[in-house]
Amino acid sequence: MPVDTHQHVALVTGASSGIGLATALRLQQAGLVVYGAARRVDRMQQLTDAGVHVVAMDVTDDASATAGVERVLAEHGRIDVLVNNAGYGSYGAVEDVPIDEARRQFEVNVFGAARLAQLVLPGMRARRSGTIVNISSMGGRITTPFGAWYHGTKFALEAVSDCLRLETAPFGIDVVVVEPGGIRTEWSGIAAEHLRATSGRGAYAERANAVATSFDSETMARRSSPPELIAATIARAVTARRPRTRYAVGFGAKPLIALRRLLPDRAWDALILRATA
């Protein structure tokens, strides 16, 4: 296949659902060549129909991530935009979550993203341009009970992104952090499932079950923004001449992050303990 080196090329991880799916479609509409990556390629016909290239990829598997990036480079010669979006919420009390599961949470949400950045950076440096968008969360700025490992990964991703921005700025590369608030996707169902399975019985059961119920409640769904809102923000960031370093968007993101900055720890704890009782 001839290599087209003109059009800008984007690789979006976690494209089989939610924010990643909406982002792949949105970037495609914006005129980029888009590759959408995920494990469940059987769920990605909508992307194929829209002209998005589908890549089978497990971000925790080095060979799989490397092969995915090599395929894009073989077909289009470049990756201008990497959207590190693949992720999930491994919820459960710190006392209950097996450490192997905590490691897995970091493998997907942090190390997977970092590995993909490593794979695309040589090309970006050579062209002296490129944008890496890391999907953090408002949970990368605030904390809630039973979210220790999820928040841990997102706080880590925020710091890794800030370091990466400093390191790659001299090469003309932008690093953007997106901090979604509550978004209507499969995320909350998966987080609720983890929470019930991990802490739904035992010392933390009462509060854990209440939090899990709130995650998959109608109210939560009503209080969530559509994934297209995040997709539009990402499209704006990657097409901006000078993107912001952080975009907090979606239900609750801006007010909760602002509130956390204002409140002392004990005041925040009291607020969250009341809200999760």
**Residues forming the active site:** 150
| Phi/psi-derived region of residue 10, left when phi > 0, alpha when psi is between -120 and 50, beta in every other case | beta
Burial class of residue 60, CB neighbours in 10 A (0-12, 13-18, 19+): middle
Residues 6 or more apart whose Cβ sits within 8 Å of residue 211: 91, 144, 145, 146, 195, 276
108 binds ligand NDP (CB under 6 A): yes
Closest contact distance (angstroms) between CB of 253 and ligand NDP is: 8
CB of 169 to ligand NDP, least distance (A): 24
| Residue 223 structure tokens | 């209080």
| Nearer Cβ to ligand NDP (7/118) | 118
Cα separations (Å) of 257 from 68, 71, 85, 110, 181? 35, 39, 20, 21, 10
Inter-residue contact 109 to 191 (CB < 8 Å): no
Residue 114 CB, nearest approach to ligand NDP (Å): 14
**Residue among 14, 92, 147, 152 that touches ligand NDP (CB under 6 A):** 14
Does residue 137 belong to the site contacting ligand NDP (CB under 6 A)?
yes
**Binding flag, residue 149, ligand NDP (CB under 6 A):** no
What character string, x for contact with ligand NDP (CB under 6 A) and - otherwise, covers 218-237? Answer: ---------x----------
Examine residue 182 and tell whether it contacts ligand NDP (CB under 6 A). yes
If the CB atoms of residues 111 and 171 are measured against ligand NDP, the closer one turns out to be: 111
65 binds ligand NDP (CB under 6 A): no
* Two structure tokens written together for 265: 């720890």
**Residue from 90, 161, 185, 233 in contact with ligand NDP (CB under 6 A):** 185
Residue in 17, 90, 105, 199 binding ligand NDP, rule: CB under 6 A: 17
Residue 37 CA to residue 123 CA, distance in Å, equals 19
How far apart (Å, rounded) are the C-alpha atoms in residues 29 and 10?
12
Q: Which amino acid is at 16?
A: S
Nearer to ligand NDP, 77 or 252 (CB): 252
Question: Diameter of the chain by CA atoms?
Answer: 61
- Does 58 help bind ligand NDP (rule: CB under 6 A)? yes
CB 169 within 8 A of CB 238: no
Angle (nearest 5°) at CA 265 between 182 and 145: 45
- Residues in the interface with ligand NDP (CB under 6 A) total 30
Q: Does 86 bind ligand NDP (CB under 6 A)?
A: yes
105 scored as a contact of ligand NDP (CB under 6 A): no
Kindly state the tokens that stand for 81: 């935009």
CB of 260 to ligand NDP, least distance (A): 15
Residues between 38 and 57 that touch ligand NDP (CB under 6 A): 38-40, 57
Tokens 């087209």 label which residue? 4
Does 180 bind ligand NDP (CB under 6 A)? Our answer is yes
Q: Toward ligand NDP, which CB reaches closer, 108 or 211?
A: 108
Tokens at 90, concatenated: 């491994």
Which residues would be at the binding site for ligand NDP (CB under 6 A)?
13-20, 38-40, 57-60, 85-88, 108, 135, 137, 180, 182-183, 185-187, 190, 227
